[in-house]
Amino acid sequence: MIRTFNVIVEKDSDGFYVSTVPALHGCHSQAKSLDELLIRTKEVIELCLEVENSTQESNEFIGVQRLAVSV
């Protein structure tokens, strides 16, 4: 069975790309290149699914919104 997941990708202050999979609690990875990040993210998704052993439905992805806040 093939499942698809939404992945949020950010770049941290040290230049690493960081991925987060919102549908899987604690599922994230990092790498110096986007290519390596995608490989590592697929691996960590497989590990998270193995540990969860879950077939629960995830929320429907709507989008990402960027907000500015005065501090």
What's the domain range around 31? 8-52
Assigned domain for 24 exists: yes
Confidence of residue 41 (pLDDT cuts 50, 70, 90): very high
Assigned domain for 69 exists: no
Assigned domain for 30 exists: yes
CB count in 10 Å sphere of residue 53 = 6
- In the chain, pLDDT over 70 holds for what percent of residues? 92
Label residues 14-39 b or e (16+ Cβ within 10 Å = b).
eeebbbebebbeebbbbbeeeeebbe
The CATH number of whichever domain residue 34 belongs to comes to 3.30.160.250
Question: What is the total count of domains within the chain?
Answer: 1
pLDDT at 65: 86
> What are the strands of the beta sheet with 17-20, ordered from one edge?
8-11, 17-20, 28-31
User: Is 35's pLDDT higher than 70?
Assistant: yes
